[in-house]
Amino acid sequence: MDTGDAQGGASKTRQGQRRLPLLCLLCASALSGVAAERIAPTVEHAHPSGLFSFRTPAGWSVESITTRKDLLQASGDEGIVWFVVHPGNNGYDSQHVNCMSERLVGKASQSTVLNYEYDFREGAAASRRTLDSAFLVAHTTTVRGQAVWRQRNVTLVGDRETVCVVVFCPAGTWKASKPTRRTLDAVVSSIAFPAQP
């Protein structure tokens, strides 16, 4: 099963626009090691909503999914990252629960058994509160030839909207490859919102 390819991608963000990176996620997530060892994504993309930007390594694809108008997908050899924007603010914990319900496969292939690595880690980024959870899930079908995936969900709650970031990586690759872990974590930590005037 593939995660859908759609025509078109996100445009590059405008040069010179001030950004506030999500530095708190460096502390609240599985990011580790000295900064010099992290793999820094170099290609910047603006979310179609204009709400935020993010960076990916060169060679990654960034595209909208035709069956999910609320979802933007970035993907490369290391894994898959979803950016889902929900209007409104229905509560800090509730928004994160909704974010954690995202799955890489359809309901028919979803497993209800989750092996949590950590759950509901709190943080803050710019004017947003964040919650961060990660777990292993074994699907009944394969994606990229793999059935067991590590899934990380980061929820950024704003006054008018919530951004859900979901990171998918084959469990074996995540465990064995430090460069993969650093790359995926660096994509998440690159998310930036326009600075408030």
Query: Residue 89's pLDDT is what?
Result: 67
Q: Is the pLDDT of residue 7 over 60?
A: no
Question: Tell me: the pLDDT tens digits for 82-123?
Answer: 999 988 766 777 888 888 888 888 765 676 678 999 999 888
Distance between CA atoms of 27 and 162, rounded to whole angstroms? Answer: 21
Question: Tell me: the pLDDT tens digits for 23-43?
Answer: 444 444 444 443 334 467 889
- Tell me the average pLDDT across 122-149: 88
What is the third-level CATH fold of 41-194? Protein Transport Mog1p; Chain A (3.40.1000)
Distance between CA atoms of 157 and 161, rounded to whole angstroms? Answer: 7
Please tell me the pTM assigned to this model.
0.78
Distance between CA atoms of 102 and 6, rounded to whole angstroms? Answer: 19
